[in-house]
């Protein structure tokens, strides 16, 4: 443990506390790539993974290919879970501006053309669709 502070009188950093004994073994060099703050997908890896994912390759095959390109798990820089999380974030981003937006536009367009049709929706503060209600002429007359 090392605690430091900034001495405002001398304008230098000073050591406040130093404990040389460590309370656990250090991570072996062969496992350093698994430490969370050392794992990261580069932009190139994201684009490559997205392309393979968009063409139907499962995540396990994508990680296998990328590990092969990097010559081992220790060199790839991320885990399968990191890749799954990236795909999930990408999917959510597409939904915000993609499928849900297209659905809302379609239903509001139908409501503009048909006086008996209606569409209403609400979104959360984070931009997620919260509620969606629509009814066309047939639904309205049946009601």
- pLDDT, residue 136, reads 86
- pLDDT, residue 97, reads 60
Residue 135 lies in a domain: yes
Question: Residue 13 is inside which H or E element, if any?
Answer: strand 12-18
User: Are residues 69 and 115 both part of a single domain?
Assistant: no
- Total domain count for the chain? 2
pLDDT band at 142 (very low <50, low <70, confident <90, very high): confident
Share the mean pLDDT of the chain: 87
Task: Tell me the residue range of the domain where 82 lies.
Answer: 28-97
User: Are residues 51 and 77 both part of a single domain?
Assistant: yes
What is the token pair recorded at 59?
Answer: 């995540």
Residue 130 lies in a domain: yes
pLDDT digits (tens, 9 = 90+) for 99-115: 777 788 888 888 888 88
Higher confidence at residue 110 or residue 95? 110
Q: Looking at residues 68-81, what average pLDDT do you find?
A: 92
User: Are residues 43 and 88 both part of a single domain?
Assistant: yes
pLDDT digits (tens, 9 = 90+) for 34-54: 888 889 999 999 999 999 999
Residue 14 lies in a domain: no
Closest CA to 126 of 87, 95, 81: 95
Residue 13 lies in a domain: no
Low-confidence winner among 24-33, 48-57, 92-101, 119-128 (lowest mean pLDDT): 92-101
Cβ 33 vs Cβ 39: under 8 Å: yes
Residue 56 lies in a domain: yes
User: Are residues 91 and 127 both part of a single domain?
Assistant: no
Closest CA to 41 of 91, 89, 97: 89
**Full-model pTM:** 0.53
User: Are residues 38 and 93 both part of a single domain?
Assistant: yes
User: Are residues 92 and 40 both part of a single domain?
Assistant: yes
């Amino acid at each position: 443990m090392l605690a430091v502070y900034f001495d405002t009188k001398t304008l230098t950093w000073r050591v406040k506390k130093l404990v040389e004994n460590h309370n656990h073994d250090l991570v072996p060099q062969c496992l350093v790539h698994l430490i969370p703050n050392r794992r990261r997908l580069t932009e190139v890896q994201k684009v490559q993974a997205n392309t393979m994912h968009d063409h139907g390759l499962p995540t396990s095959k994508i990680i296998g290919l990328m590990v092969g390109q990097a010559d081992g798990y220790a060199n790839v820089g991320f885990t399968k879970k990191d890749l799954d999380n990236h795909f999930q974030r990408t999917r959510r981003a597409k939904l915000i501006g993609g499928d849900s937006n297209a659905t809302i536009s379609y239903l509001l367009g139908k409501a503009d053309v048909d006086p008996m049709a209606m569409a209403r929706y609400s979104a959360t503060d984070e931009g997620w669709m919260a509620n969606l209600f629509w009814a066309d002429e047939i639904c309205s007359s049946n009601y």
